[in-house]
Amino acid sequence: MIRGIRGATTVKRNEVSNILQATEELLREILKANSIDPADIASIIFSATKDINSEFPAKAARLMGLKDVPLLCVQEIAVPKSMPKCIRILMHINTDKKQKEIKHVYLSGTESLRKE
C-alpha cells in the first residue's frame, strides 16, 4: 500500500545553503517520525513558494543519498497572504501503516498549515 506524508518548513533567506539545510532537516524528521527505510520511498514532490528560487529543494534529497527516488519540484500557488519562503513536501511511501499512524511533520513556523 502507498501512503502520503506531508511536511513543511520555511527558510530565512532565499539562499542555496538555507534551502538545502531546511529541506534536509525536514526530510530527516519525516523519516525519523515515521521510521521509514529510504528503500520504501516511492516518490517525493517538493513545492516552494515563488520567493524561493536559488536551488531546487529536491537537491537536498539527492545529497542525502536518495538517488533512486523519483523527485519533482513545483512552484506553490501564489495565494494572497499565504506563508512566505515555504517549502512543502508530499512523500509517498510503501507501507502497511494505517493512515492514522502516519505522522506529518511541520517545522519552523509551518505548524499552522496543519491544524489537527
Q: Which three cell numbers stand for residue 88?
A: 512543502
Annotated binding site: 6, 88, 106
| Residues annotated within a binding site for prephenate | 6, 88, 106
pLDDT confidence of residue 114? 75
Q: Is the pTM of this model over 0.75?
A: yes
Per annotation, catalytic residue among 6, 24, 25, 29: 6
DSSP 3-state of 50: coil
Q: What is the pLDDT of residue 115?
A: 65
Catalytic residue among 13, 15, 62, 101: 62
- The half-sphere exposure of 62 on its side-chain side, counting CA atoms within 13 A, is 10
Instruction: Report pLDDT for 67.
Output: 95
CATH among 1.20.210.10, 3.30.565.10, 1.10.10.60, 3.30.1330.40 for 2-110: 3.30.1330.40
Residues of the chain with pLDDT under 50: none
Residue 111 has a pLDDT of 86
pLDDT of amino acid 59: 98
What residue has cell string 526530510? 27
